[in-house]
Every structure is written in C-alpha cells, then in structure tokens.
C-alpha cells in the first residue's frame, strides 16, 4: 500500500511492504530529497508504528493527498495476521 502526503510544496510517499526474504514488515518513507526504511518482525509493533506515524504526520501539518494505492506485489503472500 502506498499513501501520499503533502505539506506546503513537499510531497511524501508512505509505503508498507512485506519482505518475504527476511520475514519483515517494512515502512518506507520517501521524499524527493531521500528516504527512510524501517523494518519490523512483529506485526503488532508494525501496526503500532503506522498508527503513531500517521498521528505524527497530521500533528506536523502533513495532509493525506488521496486514497491509498494498492500495490499487490510484496504483500500478496505476506503473513498479515496478529
């Protein structure tokens, strides 16, 4: 899944993935000037991070700029369970 966020003239891409090679959930944040990747083995920690990140972005003035885009590659066979 990919979400797009915007603040002033800056756009950010928030992507979640599942790495089947390492059995890790990934949060990938990227802007035109670079990016950050976080990895989580534990789905509860991964979900908590996504919720906290969304709150943080909103508090910092970021606005979600549209519906998320489903990118099935990377999550099609991932273990999405608690």
Is the confidence at residue 16, as pLDDT, over 50?
A: yes
Beta pairing partners, 7: 10
- Euclidean distance between CA atoms 15 and 17, whole angstroms: 7
Mean pLDDT of the chain: 86
Q: Specify the pLDDT at position 69.
A: 84
User: Which of residues 8 and 71 earns the better pLDDT score?
Assistant: 8
Is the confidence at residue 44, as pLDDT, over 80?
A: yes
- Residue 78 token pair: 């991932």
Q: Specify the pLDDT at position 67.
A: 81
Is the confidence at residue 45, as pLDDT, over 70?
A: yes
Interval 20-38 mean pLDDT? 92
- Residue 24 token pair: 């890790």
């Amino acid at each position: 899944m990919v979400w797009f966020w915007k603040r002033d003239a800056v756009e950010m891409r928030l992507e979640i993935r599942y790495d089947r090679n390492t059995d890790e959930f990934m949060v990938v944040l990227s802007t035109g000037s670079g990016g950050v990747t976080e990895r989580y083995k534990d789905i509860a920690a991964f979900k908590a991070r996504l919720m906290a990140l969304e709150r943080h972005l909103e508090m910092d003035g970021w606005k979600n700029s549209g519906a998320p885009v489903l990118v099935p590659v990377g999550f099609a066979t991932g273990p999405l369970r608690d």
